[in-house]
A = this chain, B = another copy of it.
Amino acid sequence: MESNYEVRTDLALEASESLKTKEGHLTGITVQEEKLPDMDAVITKVHIETKNAAKRMGKPVGTYITMEVPGLAEDDTGFHEKISNLLAEQIKELLEKNGSVAEKSIMIVGLGNRAVTADALGPKVIDHLSVTRHILNVYGKEAYSQAVPSISAMEPGVMAKTGIETSEMVAGVVNKTKPDILIVIDALAARSTKRLYTTIQISNTGISPGSGVGNHRNAINEEAMGIPVLAIGIPTVVDAATIVGDACEAWWHESLKEPGPFPEEVRKYFKDLKNMYVTTKEIDEIIECISYTVSEALNSALHGTII
């Protein structure tokens, strides 16, 4: 049966789970899982290896590391340091595939709209970064006691406010400042409310059209930018139509063998849910807290121990 509603998730992990059959994962997809019981955390690496698998998944070929940390949204400074270190390790692992970080120049891009709470993760991560490029440019490597990469950052804003595609804005600054690697930060949409503020996805595939809370139109990836692009994302919303559809179908499948298409009365609900999202009342506070954790992870992954 064709789906009655468009399912939306930016998480490769959720996409791979929904395509899993009794026989296991799709051909072209490998999944490794590591449990970290002391943090109540799970790290899953989904490798999409073939174009065919990429098409089925609706995500580009590449590696997607997912950290599931139920305590991510808790207000516990000590625990956030642990998460931050764990995230720093994952970032380093993906970054160092191309050699030592300390000799690279890296630009970090905070995607999203600072004025929209659910979409403000990227801009707020930028607020707490320790950038070095301007200091290295003036004083050279002697400015730091150990090797430090050239780190720069930008907040491109959103097209509705700038009239410029985010990808154009980023490409312009990349062309001018010539970083070796891009890291983009974005707020994501998940399929399940259990993923909200509990999951971090790090991938080496950049950003695809239609992804993120702000729904970017153009890609920010290696093909478009000419340099490797890492993406770090955290789900902050669930698409309302997806969650209602999932609940309805769950009920249906328990009750009927052959559910047909939604009747008109039900389609009406889905139309009203367009551009609606599901989130929690604590979202303002949580975004503030999580953006700090991601900044600290980036500072630690890029600066090492010198900060």
Q: Which residues of A contact B (CB under 8 A)?
A: 114-119, 126-127, 129, 131-135, 150-157, 159-165, 168-169, 171-177, 192-194, 213, 240, 243-244, 246-248, 250-256, 260, 262-263, 265-266, 268-270, 272-273, 275-285
- How many monomers of this chain does the complex have? 4
Subset of 14 A-B contacts with CB under 8 Å? A116-B281, A116-B283, A116-B285, A129-B161, A132-B163, A155-B157, A172-B172, A193-B272, A248-B248, A251-B265, A254-B263, A254-B266, A255-B256, A277-B281
User: In the complex where A159-B134, A163-B152, A193-B273 touch, is A247 in contact with B244 (Cβ < 8 A)?
Assistant: yes
B281 touches A266 (CB 8 A): no
Pair A151/B163 contact, Cβ less than 8 Å: yes
Q: Shortest distance in angstroms between A6's beta carbon and chain B's nearest beta carbon?
A: 15
Residues of B within 8 A of A282 (CB): 116
Contact (A284, B173) CB under 8 Å given A162-B153, A164-B152, A272-B193 = no
Is A163 within 8 A of B255, CB to CB? Answer: no
